[in-house]
Amino acid sequence: MTVQHWTFIIVGLSFALYLYIAYRSRASTTSEFYVSGSTVHPVHNGMATAADWMSAASFISMAGLISFMGRDGGVYLMGWTGGYVLLALLLAPYLRKFGKFTVPNFVGDRYYSQFARVVAVLCAIMISFTYVAGQMRGVGIVFSRFLEVDINTGVLIGTFIVFCYAVFGGMRGITYTQVAQYCVLIFAYLVPAIFIAILMTGKVIPQIGFGSTLSDGSGLHLLDKLDGLSTELGFAAYSSGVRPVIDVAAITLALMVGTAGLPHVIVRFYTVPSVKAARSSAFWAILFIAILYSTAPAVAAFARTNLLSTVNNATYTEVPEWFSNWEKTGLISFSDKNGDGRIQYYNDRNLDPAFQAKVTAAGWMGNELTIDRDIMVLANPEIARLPNWVIGLVAAGALAAALSTAAGLLLVISSAFAHDFVKCWVNPRITEKGELICARLAAGAAVVVAAYFGINPPGFVAQVVAFAFGLAAASFFPAIIMGVFQKRMNREGAISGMVVGIVFTATYIIWFKFIHPEQSNAEHWWFGISPEGIGSLGMVMNVFVAQLVSRFTPPPPADVQEIVAHIRFPRELRVK
């Protein structure tokens, strides 16, 4: 059977499974809609959290970025992995003990202010919409190749699927759907990685193959071969880094603390029955996440090696079938600048005289190949000529990763609007049925907006997601961490910090990515920090402003300080 036939079968069966689970697990109360009634087993919640966390950015884009950026791409791996550890140790148990459904609810009650709640709602919506744009973009990429439709149509198909199980199933439906999606996505990620590891290095475990010698008889280690291929074509050595150290540190920090402030991840710790279960759930989630994240560097190196080995200087009329398949999507393109009928893929911005002399002698007139980084994981099985069913399986896994996170984000948007805005501020007397209808309408509207951002994304999937993490780092993380560990932090300080942090970070990103993208380089960045890492500086500004304002305004009421002591310590050890 063809790749398309296998894709239809595997993706169709997985979608049918998701919809069936969502139907059987549909929510009938607001508690089930928001937090699945707090009855989810820690292992199941760990799998659901991993699926919620490992979005299209993790499955599709992270290895793609690493394959092009080399060591510099490791910032995404370190930041996202370290961030979840930070969340599990510093925040999850305390927020679960606080017992509120949403982050805005925590902010509103901890800072005894409806205005603080509204600010938190706006931050949650901004962060979630930025994040969901990357997920819908990932859905469109998968459908554009494997179902042979354009990206916009692919986004609309994914939107319909998410609408069905997010709007009707709520958190209860999403949770058990995400358990199934984790099983699909991790199987889909590991199978081709194992196949390619065996083909290239003779090792079954990809992580071991990543550091092994190639089985082609050359005696070279994989990374040595990749370094040689990269430098030969004018790129930096794959294992070297060219990004400024301060930017690497800033991006890593923004991703770490942004993780701990992501509302759709935090809410997962409310779906288990107790604080002890929340800690256990965090352990299982880290374990399930580590399986994919430890495999990603190997997948990136395999993909990059195969790409450089099979495409450069190949005759266009004799390129492998995978190249032609992806060229139809517009995500890879060839422009024959010197008219020799061959594909010259190299770094034409390398100004080294020796390299320029080599290029001139070869008759090359500029790089002729444009590749969307987000296709690397999806195209990897085709480049390695794996069986068609493996290629279809990867498509199903990518869709599972994108849709699981999109559903979680849409639920955050709907709950922030229905529970924190409507019920807690606009109409406190609204009935449970009315609130549930409001939440579903908000989720439906959010799906439509998400589809628009998926069709008109502001960057690569992982890049867009990095912006969301920066916004979360600059707004939510300081407010939550100071709310848990600092009794003296008051509403004036928290509100001022959140507003300053998110306004500064959003303005910086918009300025360099939309208003003046031609200036988006280290020469114009503040302190050499890129838009992907500016959330770190926004976080520092948030903390500074919050501390300053809180020192010149009245302290929180005694009962609020008592709440802080209650969530931090067991009652018998609480310090007055």
Contact 66, 300 (CB under 8 A): yes
Averaged pLDDT, 219-224: 90
Q: What is the pLDDT of residue 36?
A: 56
Report, in this order, helix, strand and coil percent for the chain, each rounded to 5.
Answer: 75, 0, 25
Beta strand spans in 362-415 (E):
369-371
Other CB atoms within 10 Å distance of the CB of residue 121: 26
The residue that leads in pLDDT, 458 or 560, is 560
**Average pLDDT in the chain:** 81
> Where is pLDDT greater, at 463 or 454?
454
pLDDT-derived band at 569, boundaries 50, 70, 90 = low
Q: Which pLDDT band holds residue 426 (cuts at 50, 70, 90)?
A: confident
Whether the per-residue pLDDT at 149 is higher than 90: the answer is no
Tokens of 375: 């296709």
pLDDT value at 575 more than 60: no
Q: Judging by beta carbons within 10 Å of its beta carbon (0-12, 13-18, 19+), is residue 235 exposed, middle or buried?
A: buried
Q: Give the pLDDT confidence score for residue 573 in this predicted structure.
A: 40
Q: How far apart are CA 145 and CA 542, in angstroms?
A: 43
Mean pLDDT of 546-558: 93
| pLDDT value of position 576 | 40
63 in Cβ contact with 376 (< 8 Å) = yes
What number of other Cβ atoms are within 10 A of residue 514's Cβ? 9
Residue 504 has pLDDT above 60, yes or no: yes
Rounded mean pLDDT, 228-254:
88
Q: What is the pLDDT of residue 538?
A: 93
* Amino acid 319: pLDDT: 78
Provide the CB-side half-sphere exposure for 547 (13 A, CA).
Answer: 10
Average pLDDT of the segment spanning 117-144? 77
| pLDDT (0 to 100) of residue 472 | 84
* pLDDT for res 168: 58
Question: Rounded to 5 degrees, what are φ and ψ at 106?
Answer: -60, -50
pLDDT (mean) for 306-322: 81
Question: From residue 549, how far is each of 40, 367, 491, 552, 557 by CA, in Å?
Answer: 41, 54, 10, 5, 16
For residue 533, what are its two tokens? 């890492």
The pLDDT value given to residue 397: 83
What's the rounded mean pLDDT across residues 520-546? Answer: 89
Dump pLDDT digits (tens) for 49-84: 887 777 777 787 788 888 888 888 888 888 877 877
| Cβ contact 33:439 at 8 Å | yes
For residues 569, 573, 574, 576, the Cα torsion angle rounded to the nearest 10 degrees is -150
More confident residue, 572 or 264: 264
Q: What does the alpha-carbon distance between residue 32 and residue 170 come to, in Å, rounded to a whole number?
A: 7
User: Which comes out higher in pLDDT, residue 159 or 204?
Assistant: 204
Amino acid at site 515: I
User: Do residues 159 and 423 make contact, with C-beta atoms less than 8 angstroms apart?
Assistant: no
Q: Is the pLDDT of residue 37 over 60?
A: no
Distance between CA atoms of residues 330 and 151, nearest Å: 9
320 against 463, higher pLDDT:
320
Residue 183 exposed, middle or buried by CB count within 10 Å (0-12, 13-18, 19+): middle
> What pLDDT sits at residue 572?
40
Residue 553 has pLDDT above 90, yes or no: yes
Average pLDDT over residues 425-438: 77
Greater confidence, 167 or 145? 145
The answer to which of 14-18, 429-433, 456-460 has the lowest mean pLDDT is 456-460
CB atoms within 10 A of CB 226: 24
Lowest mean pLDDT among 303-317, 462-476, 561-575: 561-575
Q: What's residue 41's pLDDT?
A: 82
Global confidence as pTM: 0.78
pLDDT of residue 516: 80
Q: How many other C-beta atoms lie within 10 A of the C-beta of residue 308?
A: 21
pLDDT above 90 as % of the chain? 13
Given this model, what pLDDT does residue 574 score?
Answer: 42
Ranges 34-43, 296-305, 324-333, 564-573: which has the least confidence = 564-573
Q: Are 16 and 177 in contact (CB under 8 A)?
A: no
Burial 196-219 (b: 16+ CB within 10 A, else e): bbebbbebebbeebbebbbeeeee
